[in-house]
Structure 1
């Protein structure tokens, strides 16, 4: 079962839409699904639905609500891709993390989930890293996270498990950034990095031209095992 709920900000000065997918039974764990730059579109909703099928409460907050509520864009349509880049340029990531934290708080306080994780893609992968460093999320996963080299100073704040999926042919994350990620995080006791040789950004998207079925399945199996270990269901 799925629905769209309104969740209040931590400050109580506003509220935003959040797509929620519920499992058949009562969940003990929840996962916040963090959008790409394309908003809470069909692919992100499908990520939530699949997590609900696995037994989790899944929540995808609309992080662009302060700029333009209800954004749903298709990365395979050039004008929509350009629009997504414009929205990303206006997005305040620090404020976005507060909205993710509000979703985590909601899952715990209103839905009774004792453990809450997060998984994000693209921009959401970066935000998953920031969530691991800045919130008390129990476990986080980032797919093709961008700009992590600029966030390595926050790595010592990561207290709970974090997994990052890194396609080595990512046009948005050049080799020198990937090297910095490995040099900065390989020895971190809470962080696990996986490389996907030759693959490009967006390989695990649910729909569209970017998807690579074999690699997406492999990454998603690793993510599922990670969440089972650290969250249960």
Structure 2
């Protein structure tokens, strides 16, 4: 079953990136790319996109695994599906994936005619948010519980636009030593804002399933909304 409603040309002209696009009423105040977790453009990611559209943004959620299997939707609460999602992430070419994000940025600015673009990503998408801030000309980025950022701190000098990272302190996928490295590497970066969430675990802002922490998600989302209002419009 596919949940995408739009196709965006890949940068190399080799294929089309499926995407779920939610459009606001009237002229968009800006655009937000909603970068999926490892579970695909599922109901939770579509809900995130719809939420941004209701706030007046053009929201675009590209299908990250389209080169492997288009239309992946997996349930985080089912162990065998969780494992399948991990496999998709392991087989994903993140460098090529950033090129796909670039293609989406170009499409938003050129085809959709929206000049200001932000990206918000979750889990694997939190890592993508960091990479996007370092490697593209996106206007602002937000990462929730991004994985492996501690291994990419050598790219921090390239971050020229605002980046916000939400870091739950009990993240099972980002151990304390990784969090320490992230703070030591980024706390004094003029473009980066870090927020810790004491005692919360990975996935605390998921829209669906058992991982959500309502208070933590509400706080993080309020911060994200204010951040994009400041930097995107």
**TM > 0.5 fold call:** yes
TM-superposed deviation, 1:197:
0.1
- Residues 4 and 18 in structure 2, CA contact (< 8 A), matched pair in contact too: no
Computed over aligned residues only, the root mean square deviation of the Cα atoms, in angstroms, reads: 1.0
Q: 1:49 to 1:141 in 2, by over 3 A?
A: same
3-state SS of 1:73 partner: coil
**Pair 1:81-2:119 in alignment:** no
After TM superposition, what 4+ stretches of structure 1 lie above 6 angstroms from structure 2?
Answer: none
**Pair 1:118-2:127 in alignment:** no
3-state SS of 2:217 partner: helix
Matches within 5 A, 1:24-35: 24-35=25-36
Query: What corresponds to 1:176 in structure 2?
Result: 177
**Pair 1:40-2:41 in alignment:** yes
Query: What corresponds to 2:217 in structure 1?
Result: 216
Question: 2:49, 2:109 → 1: CA distance?
Answer: 17
Question: 1:41, 1:3 → 2: CA distance?
Answer: 10
TM-superposed deviation, 1:28:
3.5
Count of residue correspondences: 231
1:72-116 CA-to-partner distances (Å, cap 9, x unmatched) read: 111011111011011111100001111111111110001111100
**Pair 1:16-2:32 in alignment:** no
Query: What corresponds to 2:163 in structure 1?
Result: 162
1:24-67 CA-to-partner distances (Å, cap 9, x unmatched) read: 11114101110100011110000000000011000000110111
**Higher alpha-carbon deviation: 79-88 or 183-192:** 79-88
3-state SS of 2:21 partner: strand
- Residues 140 and 231 in structure 2, CA contact (< 8 A), matched pair in contact too: yes
- Residues 29 and 115 in structure 1, CA contact (< 8 A), matched pair in contact too: yes
- Residues 124 and 142 in structure 1, CA contact (< 8 A), matched pair in contact too: yes
TM-superposed deviation, 1:3:
6.5
Query: What corresponds to 2:94 in structure 1?
Result: 93
| TM-score, normalised with respect to structure 1 | 0.98
- Residues 28 and 112 in structure 1, CA contact (< 8 A), matched pair in contact too: no
Unmatched 5+ residue regions in structure 2?
none
- Residues 4 and 71 in structure 2, CA contact (< 8 A), matched pair in contact too: no
